[in-house]
Amino acid sequence: MDSGSVVIVGGTSGIGRELAAEYARRGRSVVVTGRDPDRTAAIACEIGGATTGLGIDLAEPDAIAGAFASVGPVSELVIAAIERDVNHIASYDLQRARRLVTLKLVGYPEVVHTLSDRFTAATSIVLFGGLAKERPYDGSTTVSTVNGGVSGLVRTLACELAPVRVNAIHPGIIGDSPYWVDKPLGAFVERTPIGRLVTMREIVGATIFLLECGGMNGADLFVDGGWLLR
Ligand SMILES: NC(=O)c1ccc[n+]([C@@H]2O[C@H](COP(=O)([O-])OP(=O)(O)OC[C@H]3O[C@@H](n4cnc5c(N)ncnc54)[C@H](OP(=O)(O)O)[C@@H]3O)[C@@H](O)[C@H]2O)c1
């Protein structure tokens, strides 16, 4: 399982960074990516252990293959990158929408394509969607769209790459994540049966479960504290 690196695309912030820190603590060789090479290298240093950083912009997919040239065998691949687009049909911002659609629906598969010659039969992949695909929030038009696309993507990848396992995780709103932590979240909490929002630690745990449980494949795992139930 651990003959290669853990590669975390979008590993400089939020869930990706927490996951990188967890695998670094476990003594694994970790590669994190963010858009800016210098900032990403600095964050890799802060994460510590055997962590290195690469600068890759998934919204510019022609450059993805070259950016991964230095990466060797990959045991676990997690793609968590997002460049959020707060968008509405009434004021549709094409440029923002185009970047996010390209990032998730072209950038994610291009990363998998690029690294596929570095996979073994035991490699496993987790792609990040999100429950805005099921329950939109104000401004989530592009986010809801691309996170729906991630569900289709895992199904085709799990078939094409077999026996490599490919799963998706779809968190509800993660209350302590950098994007949401300072926003008013009371209405979301009220609808969540556990009486609070899910946490970054819980999403890291669920991601590790998908990566490491050999029976999980082609799944869309919802982790939301029951938020969709009411
Ligand atoms: N937070 C939540 O509540 C929540 C809920 C449901 C689903 N999700 C999903 O979970 C994943 C992680 O979310 P998060 O909130 O933890 O993320 P985050 O803190 O906003 O971090 C986003 C990551 O993506 C990278 N990134 C941004 N633009 C990029 C681009 N154009 N190309 C490549 N990388 C780029 C960022 O790196 P740099 O800034 O260093 O470039 C950073 O590492 C996302 O896919 C999101 O859709 C999150």
| Distance in angstroms (rounded) separating the CA atoms of residues 130 and 171 | 5
Percent over 90 (pLDDT), the chain: 99
The closest residue, in CA terms, to atom 7 on ligand 1 is 130
- Sheet holding 50-55: strands in order across? 50-55, 29-34, 5-9, 74-79, 124-128, 165-171, 220-223
**Atom number in ligand 1 closest to CA 171:** 6
Q: Which residue has the tokens 């990032």?
A: 103
Q: What is the pLDDT of residue 3?
A: 81
Q: At CB < 8 A and 24+ separation, what contacts does 227-230 make?
A: 227/131, 227/135, 227/172, 227/173, 227/188, 227/191, 227/192, 227/193, 227/197, 228/131, 228/134, 228/135, 228/172, 229/193, 230/191, 230/193
| Distance in angstroms (rounded) separating the CA atoms of residues 57 and 102 | 10
In 3D, which of 169, 161, 148 has the Cα closest to residue 220? Answer: 169
Pocket, ligand 1, Cβ cutoff 6 A: 10-16, 34-36, 39-40, 56-59, 80-83, 103, 128, 130, 171, 173-174, 177-180
DSSP classification of residue 180:
T
Ligand 1 mean position, distance from CA 145 (Å): 16
Output the tens digit of pLDDT for each of the chain's 230 residues: 468 999 999 999 999 999 999 999 999 999 999 999 999 999 999 999 999 999 999 999 999 999 999 999 999 999 999 999 999 999 999 999 999 999 999 999 999 999 999 999 999 999 999 999 999 999 999 999 999 999 999 999 999 999 999 999 999 999 999 999 999 999 999 999 999 999 999 999 999 999 999 999 999 999 999 999 99
Q: If DSSP codes are grouped into helix, strand and coil, which group holds residue 74?
A: strand
Ligand 1 mean position, distance from CA 156 (Å): 23
**Atom number in ligand 1 closest to CA 143:** 47
pLDDT tens profile 2-50: 689 999 999 999 999 999 999 999 999 999 999 999 999 999 999 999 9
**Atom number in ligand 1 closest to CA 11:** 43
The closest residue, in CA terms, to atom 5 on ligand 1 is 173
Do residues 54 and 68 make contact, with C-beta atoms less than 8 angstroms apart?
A: yes
The closest residue, in CA terms, to atom 15 on ligand 1 is 14
pLDDT tens profile 92-111: 999 999 999 999 999 999 99
Please tell me the pTM assigned to this model.
0.98
Ligand 1 mean position, distance from CA 15 (Å): 8
Ligand 1 mean position, distance from CA 17 (Å): 10
Ligand 1 mean position, distance from CA 16 (Å): 8
The closest residue, in CA terms, to atom 17 on ligand 1 is 14
Residue-wise DSSP of 205-219: HHHHHHHH-TT--S-
**Atom number in ligand 1 closest to CA 175:** 3
Q: What is the pLDDT of residue 26?
A: 98
Q: What is the pLDDT of residue 2?
A: 64
Tokens of 204: 């890291």
